[in-house]
């Protein structure tokens, strides 16, 4: 009888136990994961699912229009017809798709394919500005956003757009989207004022996103009033909360849509007719002198026209500038690079952003000071022999060195009183009254501290308040500034030169114009403005700009009182008769002084001040022009009319123009004449 071994029951039970434990662990793991997913992380997954299902779509607002003071359009929105594709709506049959592509290719003059779908090409894809074929654009769109519109070709002619729309049923998935683009009817005539638009800058993306803008779609101002008034012009984007399916197709609205609010319209104080005249006067004068000399004397400059009673800018020319219509769809890289590398800096608004030596037009500040402080009386004469020598000292016990100072007329002007000092712009007169001259003008003359006070009272060294980006303050130096910045003590010669608007003194053309306007209008320093009013698109007035006076030098104590080189803590005003006499001096400039020839037969009783300012900047140094005593010079002239109750003031600045009287004064004369001729015409034609 055979005996068979019996299995070990304890051993078999252990095996089953292990299996049960393993099965329990597996089920336990999945139960824990299910608990984690459903209970612990459930709300997060629900939120993510909602985010995938719900989208908030931003609807762009229409940007406001910019007009001149007469309602002439300076910036507007025009329709751009863009051919777009929605890949999800294309036919299923590939043969039908290719047939659509071939017919569309012939219509819009774009190849069906270029065979380029590399990763880098896809990453850098930008609708409207890619160099791809139709198939590649559709491939990128289908891969990333199959139910969203993607532009195939932008800004096609209206006739082409109409054909595409007529073929919608024949070409499913192909359509036309009409988008507004910015157009500037006056182009480079006003580009330094209007500016242009560009994409939301990466550095400011968070700021603009908070305002509701969409990067890579919405545009913002990059210069001019397009930038400074961007929030007024841009409006507010609308929003739609929608449900989408897994492919991104919109299923329905989940909330009531919020419509976009269009931007407000802006009316500027600019008169585009006067802007055209001022620009033409500047360019033609420059070209005329260049032809006469047989070489390029100058190729850049500024003309600004202001109402001195209100501070309104009627024209502002910074030449050369740029063509902002070339920025309609986007900022072309090659064009922007060309502008950036141009040594004449066409992107730079010289009228408000250039800090320049003002030369003799600056003398009007010290003119107020020497009368108001009693340095001279109106009758006192100062001798101009054509050349003087002083001892240049930098500290009290400095033995010093002799230094010559010459007048622009080396034959001298003889005995000169205040009025003729202004009329002749006699340099020796201003040297002596500004810094003193032993035996004639004692106690150091007006002195640098008081020169600085009267210059600042006329607006030098501070912003004018104009609504344009990039304005600078200029520089009114004093001994403290020089010690901290240059590391030297102030000298007598520094005061002499500062009185002349040279040396360390720097100003913008706009500051120069506003300073002279302050004297012309009787002492009112106005806030400068280019904005007349703001309206809603339906014409409803939002805001009307009112003339704003910063201060009146004859009633507001804006002059600090000095005892030697130290302020006493007291302040004073400029006496009204001082302003009146200074105004008379500038009238004499036109009738018998440095601008007499250029204003022969002037029917509008103008006044003004010439200025010739030597300079030595990077451009002059590169051209080897900075020889001591032979520096090149800028040309300045500021004029206003009528002199006893002015309604127009004009500054003309020509870079490297040599003489203000011969180069810049004729420009101002043409603009003043044109203004009054236009005024007479408007009066006749206005019922």
Give domain status of residue 632, yes or no. yes
Single out the residue in 132, 152, 185 at which a domain terminates. 185
- Selected residue with higher pLDDT from 267 and 250: 267
Q: Are residues 547 and 611 in the same domain?
A: yes
Give the CA dihedral 339, 343, 349, 352, nearest 10 degrees: 160
- Bridge partners of 389, per DSSP, are 404
| pLDDT at 117 (0 to 100) | 66
Q: Are residues 330 and 438 in the same domain?
A: yes
Tokens of 576: 């009204």
Mean model confidence pLDDT for the chain: 90
pLDDT tens, residue by residue, 615-672? 887 777 777 777 766 788 999 999 999 999 999 999 999 998 888 889 999 999 999 9
Give domain status of residue 243, yes or no. no
**Local confidence band at 1 (pLDDT 50, 70, 90 cut-offs):** very low
Cβ atoms 505, 475 nearer than 8 A: yes
Give domain status of residue 298, yes or no. yes
pLDDT tens, residue by residue, 269-320? 999 999 999 999 999 999 999 999 888 889 999 999 999 999 999 999 999 9
Whose tokens are 């400059």? That residue is 301
| pLDDT at 424 (0 to 100) | 96
Single out the residue in 185, 214, 246 at which a domain terminates. 185
Give domain status of residue 212, yes or no. no
Give domain status of residue 483, yes or no. yes
Q: Are residues 42 and 84 in the same domain?
A: no
Q: Are residues 390 and 304 in the same domain?
A: yes
Give domain status of residue 224, yes or no. no
- For residue 164, is pLDDT > 70? yes
**Local confidence band at 50 (pLDDT 50, 70, 90 cut-offs):** low
- Selected residue with higher pLDDT from 630 and 142: 142
C-alpha span between 278 and 654 (Å, rounded):
13
| pLDDT at 122 (0 to 100) | 64
Query: For 180, phi and psi rounded to 5 degrees?
Result: -80, 140
pLDDT tens, residue by residue, 199-227? 999 899 999 998 888 888 889 999 999 99
- For residue 417, is pLDDT > 90? yes
| pTM (2 d.p.) | 0.88
- Selected residue with higher pLDDT from 607 and 14: 607
The helix/strand/coil state of 650 is strand
Percent over 70 (pLDDT), the chain:
93
Residue 137, domain extent:
77-185
Q: Are residues 39 and 149 in the same domain?
A: no
**Local confidence band at 4 (pLDDT 50, 70, 90 cut-offs):** very low
Indicate the helix (H) or strand (E) that contains 272: helix 272-293
**Helical residues (DSSP H) of 521-641, grouped into ranges:** 576-591, 618-622
pLDDT tens, residue by residue, 391-410? 998 888 888 899 999 999 99
- For residue 482, is pLDDT > 80? yes
C-alpha span between 193 and 317 (Å, rounded):
8
Indicate the helix (H) or strand (E) that contains 68: none
Percent over 90 (pLDDT), the chain:
65
* Cα angle, residue 188 at apex, residues 159 and 609 outer, rounded to 5°: 160
- Selected residue with higher pLDDT from 124 and 603: 603
Q: Are residues 441 and 566 in the same domain?
A: yes
Q: Are residues 158 and 28 in the same domain?
A: no
Give domain status of residue 194, yes or no. no
| pLDDT at 46 (0 to 100) | 58
Single out the residue in 185, 204, 224 at which a domain terminates. 185
| Structural domains of the chain, count | 3
Q: Are residues 22 and 94 in the same domain?
A: no
Q: Are residues 551 and 453 in the same domain?
A: yes
The helix/strand/coil state of 400 is coil
| Section 246-255 average pLDDT | 70
Q: Are residues 155 and 16 in the same domain?
A: no
| Section 250-272 average pLDDT | 89
Q: Are residues 522 and 484 in the same domain?
A: yes
Cβ atoms 221, 233 nearer than 8 A: yes
- For residue 427, is pLDDT > 50? yes
- For residue 477, is pLDDT > 90? yes
CATH code: domain of residue 323:
3.40.710.10
| pLDDT at 123 (0 to 100) | 66
Give domain status of residue 239, yes or no. no
- For residue 5, is pLDDT > 60? no
Q: Are residues 636 and 669 in the same domain?
A: yes
């Amino acid at each position: 009888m055979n005996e068979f071994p019996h299995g070990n029951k304890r051993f078999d039970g252990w095996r089953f136990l292990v299996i049960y434990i393993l099965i329990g662990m597996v089920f336990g793991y999945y139960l824990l994961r299910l608990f984690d997913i459903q209970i612990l992380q459930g709300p997060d997954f629900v939120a993510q699912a909602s985010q995938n299902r719900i989208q908030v779509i931003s609807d762009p607002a229409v940007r406001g229009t910019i007009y001149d003071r007469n309602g002439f359009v300076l910036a507007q929105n025009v329709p751009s017809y863009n051919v777009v594709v929605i890949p999800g709506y294309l036919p299923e049959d590939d043969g039908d798709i290719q047939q659509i592509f071939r017919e569309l290719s012939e219509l819009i003059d774009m190849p069906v394919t270029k065979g380029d779908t590399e990763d880098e090409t896809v990453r850098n894809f930008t609708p409207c500005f890619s160099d791809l074929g139709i198939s590649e654009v559709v491939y990128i769109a289908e891969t990333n956003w199959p139910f969203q519109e993607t532009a195939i070709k932008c800004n096609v002619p209206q006739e082409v757009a109409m054909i595409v729309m007529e073929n919608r049923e024949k070409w499913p998935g192909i359509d036309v989207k009409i988008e507004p683009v910015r157009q500037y009817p006056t182009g480079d005539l006003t580009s330094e004022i209007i500016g242009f638009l560009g994409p939301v800058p990466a550095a400011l993306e968070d700021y603009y996103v908070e305002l509701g803008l969409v990067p890579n779609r919405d545009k913002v101002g990059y210069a001019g009033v397009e930038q400074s008034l961007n929030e007024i012009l841009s409006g507010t984007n609308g929003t739609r909360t929608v449900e989408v399916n897994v492919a991104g197709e919109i299923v329905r609205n989940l909330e009531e849509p919020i419509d976009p609010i269009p931007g407000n319209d802006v009316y500027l104080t600019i008169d585009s007719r006067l802007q055209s005249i001022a620009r033409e006067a500047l360019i033609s004068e420059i070209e005329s002198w260049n032809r006469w000399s047989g070489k390029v004397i100058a190729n850049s400059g500024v003309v600004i026209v202001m109402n001195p009673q209100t501070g309104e800018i009627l024209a502002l020319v910074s030449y050369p500038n740029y063509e902002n219509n070339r920025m309609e769809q986007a900022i072309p890289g090659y064009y922007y690079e060309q502008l950036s590398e141009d040594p004449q800096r066409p992107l730079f608004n010289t009228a408000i952003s250039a800090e320049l030596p003002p030369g003799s037009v600056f003398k009007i500040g010290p003119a107020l000071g020497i009368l108001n402080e009693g340095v001279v009386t109106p009758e006192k004469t100062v001798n101009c022999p054509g050349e003087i020598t002083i001892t240049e000292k930098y500290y009290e016990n400095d033995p010093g060195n002799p230094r010559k100072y010459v007048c622009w007329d080396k034959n001298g002007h003889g005995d000169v009183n205040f009025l003729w000092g202004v009329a002749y712009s006699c340099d020796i007169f201003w040297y002596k009254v500004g810094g003193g001259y032993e035996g004639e003008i004692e106690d150091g003359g007006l002195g640098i501290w008081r020169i600085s006070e009267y210059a600042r009272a006329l607006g030098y060294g501070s912003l004018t308040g104009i609504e344009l980006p990039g304005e600078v303050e200029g520089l009114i130096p004093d001994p403290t500034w020089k010690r901290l910045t240059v590391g030297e003590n102030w000298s007598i010669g520094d005061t002499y030169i500062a009185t002349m608007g040279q040396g360390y003194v720097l100003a913008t053309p706009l500051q120069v114009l506003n300073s002279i306007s302050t004297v012309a209008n009787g002492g009112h320093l106005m806030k400068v403005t280019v904005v007349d009013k703001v309206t809603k698109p339906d014409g409803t007035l939002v805001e009307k700009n009112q003339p704003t006076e910063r201060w009146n030098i004859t009633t507001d104590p804006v002059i600090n009182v000095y005892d030697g080189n130290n302020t006493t803590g007291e302040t004073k005003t400029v006496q009204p008769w001082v302003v009146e006499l200074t105004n008379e001096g500038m009238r004499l400039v036109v009738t018998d002084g440095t601008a007499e020839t250029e204003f022969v037969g002037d029917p509008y009783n103008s006044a003004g001040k010439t200025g010739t300012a030597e300079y030595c900047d990077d451009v002059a140094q590169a051209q080897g022009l900075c020889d001591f005593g032979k520096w090149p010079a800028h040309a300045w002239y500021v004029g206003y009319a009528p002199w006893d109750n002015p309604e127009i003031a004009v500054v003309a600045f020509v870079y490297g123009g040599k003489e203000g009287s011969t180069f810049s004064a004729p420009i101002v004369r043409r603009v003043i004449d044109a203004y009054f001729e236009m005024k007479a015409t408007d009066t006749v034609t206005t019922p």
